[in-house]
């Protein structure tokens, strides 16, 4: 009788972690220009500080290999800072042709020099060419397979992650079919032999992979919906909106522990909505866990050529995801509903990052507003959103929002390189937002954490209660059905 390989599934508490040079992979460490600056001005200094700590020998070896193999990236980082400084010092009468000749060699052919309305020179980085240049080195990419460590699910940047006895570290590109096969194994049956073959494993490493597999899928009952509509709050900025026909997930961040885990997600997610590309909401690691299960990733349009505002479209295409780019008030349909991209305004304290959006989701007769970053916005904007989208049944407003991480921006003229957290919205402003949206319910949440909210929320609740509007804070997992 022929031997039949045993069916296997990827365990729920196993993390498929994308890494670049053993640091966490996400927009600002993969997109070529910010990745080079992050490497030179954040990651290398971090490794140098860790040389004298336990594990310093492994860090030293990694640092030596980076300095040896990533010369093109480090040359670009130095040249980019020089080019930005040169343009910052230029004056309106300066001849652009002369400025082109003065550009450092490492950036020549990768930029366009421009003028603003006052005639002052500026610089635009040609990101599509950067992805085709030596600055974008896909040999940096790898995946780590292993148990999700405690606290790791909070999604904060870390590293470097050195090899360990309980992890598999594989030099696999993020867009490789092997990554899709591995991620799908959470919900689709496979075998150890098949996964070992597509991942290029044999012997002891195949045996280690077997420790991360289980005979049954680690999925939970109730992950699909039979009738009506449902919203589940997964934490941070992540909301799952479902109908029997389709599912939409905002800012995918699914913990490996807690009330809602990856096993609570449906087998197929029609649309994933990214409000921006910063580490906490984008959660690239969660996207990798869902490879092969996503109909499309909806992303806001970036400001073309701004080194601090890399394109989410290019980033996701080059890492193997289906992607749809939207501008304000563009609509994308999914089975059982639609999504409208709506403006996202902040206080302008950080750099000019335009790749950010809020969303209105329409599903099963309900209209839901997911408003990451709403606390700093002009309240009158929300009357315009209501006029386009119609009355809002439920509004989810962020309590605080972290600006994009900018440690490497210190090297560029005109960028303060500071990280700012906006305060909770004042009661009158939040009330005006709710009034502008004509919302029946208002729920506040914290994109970066879930502590108790000080201050204004009590006033907001009282204002809403006096007008028949339900207002509450969100903590932990929560579900709404209709």
Domain ranges of the chain: 7-70+137-214, 71-131, 230-481
Task: Specify the length of the chain in residues.
Answer: 482
Q: What is the DSSP letter of 310?
A: -
The answer to whether 11 and 51 have CB atoms below 8 angstroms apart is no
Long-range contacts of 188-194 (CB under 8 A, 24+ apart): 188/9, 189/7, 189/8, 189/9, 189/217, 190/7, 190/8, 190/9, 191/5, 191/6, 191/7, 191/8, 192/5, 192/6, 192/8, 193/5, 194/5
The pLDDT of residue 3 is 52
Q: What whole-number distance in Å separates Cα of residue 255 and Cα of residue 263?
A: 10
Give 323's contacts (C-beta < 8 A, 6+ positions apart): 296, 297, 298, 299, 312, 313, 316, 317
Angle of CA points 269, 270, 275, to nearest 5°: 90
- Which of 133-154 are b and which e, b meaning 16 or more Cβ less than 10 Å from the residue's Cβ? bebbbeebbbbbbbebeeebbe
Q: What whole-number distance in Å separates Cα of residue 210 and Cα of residue 201?
A: 11
Beta-strand pair 121-125/141-147: unpaired
- What's the whole-model pTM score? 0.91
Residue 142: name the closest of 326, 55, 16, 268 by CA.
Answer: 16
Name the β-bridge partners of 7. Answer: 191
The pLDDT of residue 468 is 78
Q: What whole-number distance in Å separates Cα of residue 210 and Cα of residue 192?
A: 6
Q: What whole-number distance in Å separates Cα of residue 83 and Cα of residue 237?
A: 37
Q: From the CA atom positions of the chain, what is the Rg in Å?
A: 23
Peptide bond preceding 160: is omega within 30 degrees of 0, i.e. cis?
yes
The answer to whether 301 and 315 have CB atoms below 8 angstroms apart is no
Long-range contacts of 210-214 (CB under 8 A, 24+ apart): 210/8, 212/10, 212/11, 212/14, 212/145, 212/146, 212/147, 212/168, 213/8, 213/9, 213/10, 213/11, 213/185, 214/8, 214/9, 214/10, 214/11
Q: What whole-number distance in Å separates Cα of residue 1 and Cα of residue 119?
A: 81
- The CATH architecture assigned to 230-481 reads 4-Layer Sandwich (3.60)
The answer to whether 305 and 316 have CB atoms below 8 angstroms apart is no
The pLDDT of residue 401 is 54
pLDDT (tens, 9 = 90+) of the chain, 482 residues, equals 455 579 999 998 899 999 999 999 999 999 999 999 999 999 999 999 999 888 899 999 999 999 999 999 999 999 999 999 999 999 888 899 999 999 999 999 999 999 998 899 999 999 999 999 999 999 999 999 998 765 444 444 577 999 989 999 999 999 999 999 999 999 999 999 999 999 999 889 999 999 999 999 989 999 999 999 999 998 888 999 999 999 999 999 877 667 888 999 999 999 999 998 876 656 799 999 999 999 999 999 998 999 989 999 999 999 999 999 999 999 999 999 999 999 987 765 567 788 999 999 999 999 999 987 655 556 788 899 999 989 899 999 876 555 555 555 665 555 544 444 444 455 666 677 778 888 888 888 766 554 444 444 566 677 777 777 787 888 767 899 99
The answer to whether 177 and 212 have CB atoms below 8 angstroms apart is no
Helices (H), 18-155: 27-30, 32-38, 44-49, 56-69, 71-89, 96-102, 127-131
The pLDDT of residue 295 is 97
Long-range contacts of 239-243 (CB under 8 A, 24+ apart): 239/368, 239/370, 239/396, 240/264, 240/265, 241/337, 241/361, 241/363, 241/368, 242/266, 242/363, 243/335, 243/336, 243/337, 243/363, 243/364
Residue 7: both structure tokens together: 């069916």
In order of 92, 452, 481, the CA distances from 124 in angstroms are 17, 42, 47
Q: What whole-number distance in Å separates Cα of residue 425 and Cα of residue 434?
A: 12
């Amino acid at each position: 009788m022929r031997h039949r390989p045993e069916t296997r599934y990827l365990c729920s508490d196993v993390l498929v972690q994308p890494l670049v040079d053993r640091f966490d992979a996400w927009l600002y460490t993969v997109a070529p220009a910010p990745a080079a600056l992050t490497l030179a001005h954040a990651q290398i200094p971090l490794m140098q500080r860790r040389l004298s700590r336990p594990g310093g020998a492994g860090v030293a070896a990694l640092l030596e290999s980076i300095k040896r193999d990533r010369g093109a990236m480090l040359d670009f980082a130095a040249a980019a800072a020089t080019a930005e400084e040169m343009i910052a010092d230029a004056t309106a009468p300066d001849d652009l042709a002369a400025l082109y000749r003065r550009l450092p060699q490492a950036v020549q052919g990768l930029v366009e020099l421009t003028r603003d309305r006052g005639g002052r020179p500026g610089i635009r980085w040609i990101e599509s060419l950067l992805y085709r240049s030596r600055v974008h080195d896909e040999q940096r990419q790898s995946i780590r397979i292993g148990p999700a460590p405690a606290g790791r699910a909070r999604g904060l940047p870390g590293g470097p992650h050195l090899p360990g006895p309980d992890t598999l570290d594989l030099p696999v590109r993020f867009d490789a079919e092997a990554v899709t096969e591995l991620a799908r194994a959470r919900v689709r049956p496979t075998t150890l032999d098949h996964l070992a073959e597509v991942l290029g494993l044999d012997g002891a490493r195949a045996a280690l992979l077997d420790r991360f597999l289980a005979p049954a899928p680690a999925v939970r009952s109730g992950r699909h919906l039979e009738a009506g509509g449902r919203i589940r709050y997964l934490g941070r900025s992540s909301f799952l909106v479902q109908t029997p026909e389709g599912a939409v997930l905002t800012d995918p961040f699914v913990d490996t522990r807690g009330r809602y885990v990856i096993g609570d997600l449906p087998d197929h997610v029609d649309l994933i909505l990214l409000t921006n590309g910063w580490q906490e909401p984008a959660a690239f690691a969660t996207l990798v866990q869902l490879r092969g299960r996503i109909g499309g990733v909806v992303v806001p349009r970036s400001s073309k050529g701004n080194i601090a505002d890399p394109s989410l479209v290019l980033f996701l295409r080059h890492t193997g995801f289906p992607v749809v780019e939207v501008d304000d008030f563009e609509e994308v349909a999914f089975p059982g509903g639609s999504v409208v991209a709506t403006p996202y305004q902040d206080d302008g304290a950080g750099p000019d990052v335009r790749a950010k959006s809020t969303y209105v989701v329409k599903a099963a007769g309900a209209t839901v507003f997911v408003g990451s970053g709403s606390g700093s916005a002009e309240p009158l904007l929300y009357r315009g959103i209501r006029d386009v989208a119609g009355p809002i049944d439920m509004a989810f407003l962020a309590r605080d929002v972290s600006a994009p991480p900018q440690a490497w921006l210190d090297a560029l003229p005109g960028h303060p390189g500071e990280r700012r957290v906006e305060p909770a919205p004042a009661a009158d402003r939040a009330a005006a937002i709710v009034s502008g949206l004509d919302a029946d319910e208002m729920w506040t949440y914290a994109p970066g954490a879930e502590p108790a909210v000080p201050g204004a929320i009590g006033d907001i609740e009282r204002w809403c209660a006096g007008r028949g509007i339900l207002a509450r804070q969100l903590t932990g997992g929560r579900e709404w059905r209709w």
